[in-house]
Amino acid sequence: MHTDRILGVAAIAVAAIMLAFGYGLEAPFAYEPTGPRAFPLIAAGMIALCGVILVWKPGEADPSVPPMPGRAIVALSGLLLAYALLFQPLGFVIATTVFMIPIAMIFGAKWWQGVLVGAVLSVSSFLLFDRVLDVVLPTGPLGGII
Amino acid sequence: MDTLSYLIHGFGIALAPTNLFLATIGAVVGTMVGVLPGLGPINAVAMLVPVVFALGLPPEGSLILMAAIYIGSEYGGRISAILLNVPGEASAVMTALEGYPLARQGKAGIALSLSAWTSFVGSAIATTGIVLAAPVLASWALAFGPVEYVALMVFAFACLTGLLTDQPVKALLAIMLGLGISTIGIDANSGVYRYTFGSPNLVDGVQFATVVIGLFAISELLIMLETMHAGASVRIQQLGRSLFNLSEMRFTNAATLRGSLIGFFVGILPGAGGTVASALAYTTEKRVVDKTDPEGSRFGKGDMRGLASVEAANNSASNSNFIPMLTLGIPSSGTTAIMLGVLTLYNLTPGPALFRSQPDLVWGLIASLFIGNFILLAINIPLVGVFARMLSVPAWVLVPFIVVVSAIGVYSGKSTTFDLVLMVGLGIGAYFLRRANVPMAPLILGLVLGKILEQSLRRALSLSAGDVAILWSSPISITLWAMASAVLLIPLLMPRFRRWREETMTETD
What's the per-residue H, E or C state across B159-218? HHHHHCCCCHHHHHHHHHHHHHHHCCEECCCCCCEECCCCCHHHCCCCCHHHHHHHHHHH
Q: pLDDT by residue (tens digit) across A2-13?
A: 788 999 999 999
Asked, for residue A81, whether it belongs to a domain, the answer is: yes
The reply to whether A63 touches chain B by the CB within 8 Å rule is no
Same domain, A106 and A80: yes
Are A38 and A77 contained in the same domain? no
Q: What is the pLDDT of residue B509?
A: 36
pLDDT of residue B281: 87
Contact A50 B176 (CB under 8 A): yes
Identify the pLDDT of residue B506.
Answer: 45
Q: Is B93 in contact with B87 (CB distance < 8 Å)?
A: yes
Chain B residues touching residue A100 (CB < 8 angstroms): 400, 403-404
Residues above pLDDT 70, as percent of chain B: 90
Residues A84 and A120 in one domain: yes
| Predicted model pTM | 0.84
Q: What domain count does chain A have?
A: 2
Tens-digit pLDDT profile for residues A51-91: 999 999 887 776 666 777 788 899 999 999 999 999 999 99
Q: Is residue A21 part of a domain?
A: yes
Tell me, yes or no, whether A52 and A81 share the same domain. no
Of residues B485, B508, B491, the one with CA closest to residue B154? B485
Say yes or no: B328 contacts chain A, CB-CB below 8 A: no
- Of chain B, the end-to-end C-alpha distance in Å amounts to 39
> Mind giving me the DSSP string for A70-120?
HHHHHHHHHHHHHHHHHHHHH-HHHHHHHHHHHHHHHTT--HHHHHHHHHH
A1 CB within 8 Å of a chain B CB: no
| Cβ within 8 Å of B, A 81-120 | 81, 83-85, 87-88, 92, 96, 100, 103-109, 113-114, 117-118
A20 with A78, same domain: the answer is: no
According to the model, what pLDDT value does residue B156 have? 83
Domain that includes residue A7, residue range? 2-56
A42 assigned to some structural domain = yes
As a whole number, mean pLDDT of residues B366-374 equals 90
A98 is a domain residue = yes
B437 touches chain A (CB under 8 A): yes
pLDDT tens string A99-146: 999 999 998 889 999 999 999 999 999 988 888 877 788 888 877 666
CB contact under 8 A, A109 and B225: no
Between B194, B395, B433, which is nearest A36 by CB? Answer: B194
- Asked if pLDDT for residue B231 goes beyond 80, the answer is no
Smallest CA–CA distance, residue A50 to chain B, in Å, is 6
Between CA B284 and CA B343 the distance in angstroms is 36
Instruction: Return the closest-CA partner of residue B26 out of B357, B290, B372, B370.
Output: B372
> B192 to chain A, minimum CA–CA distance in Å?
6
**How far, in Å, CA of B205 to CA of B182, rounded?**
7
CB contact under 8 A, B195 and A85: no
Mean pLDDT of B402-406: 89
Dihedral over alpha carbons B484, B43, B170, B96 (to 10 degrees): 90
Determine the pLDDT at residue A10.
94
pLDDT score recorded for residue B433: 93
What's the CA gap between B36 and B19, in Å, rounded? 26
Banded pLDDT at B503 (limits 50, 70, 90): low
Please check whether residue A25 touches B, CB under 8 A: yes
How far apart are the C-alpha atoms of B219 and B428, rounded to whole Å?
Answer: 6
Nearest to B351 by CA among B377, B324, B313: B324
Put simply, the answer to whether A129 touches B408 (Cβ < 8 Å) is yes
Is A65 near chain B, with CB under 8 Å? Answer: yes
Q: Clarify whether residues A40 and A8 are in a common domain.
A: yes
Tell whether A140 and A78 lie within a shared domain: yes
Of A31, A56, A81, the residue at which a domain comes to its end is A56
Which of B123, B8, B15, B3 has its CA nearest to residue B368? B15
For residues A126 and A103, state if they share a domain.
yes
Residue A64 lies in a domain: no
Is A96 inside a domain boundary? yes
Residue A61 lies in a domain: no
Evaluate if residue B177 carries a pLDDT over 60.
yes
> A83 and A139: one domain?
yes
Q: Per-residue pLDDT for B468 more than 90?
A: no
Interface of B with A in 78-137 (CB under 8 A): none
End-to-end alpha-carbon separation of chain A, Å? 54
Domain annotation covers residue A62: no
Q: Are residues A46 and A91 in the same domain?
A: no
Q: How far is Cα B319 from Cα B307, in angstroms, rounded to an integer?
A: 19
CB contact at 8 A, B65 and B57: yes
Question: Using CB atoms, which residue from A103, A133, A137 is nearest to B403?
Answer: A103
Closest chain B CA to residue A87 = B417
Residue A35, pLDDT score: 81
A-B contacts (CB, under 8 Å): 193
* CB-CB under 8 Å, B428 with A44: no
Using an 8 Å CB-CB cutoff, list chain A residues near B176. Answer: 43, 46-47, 50
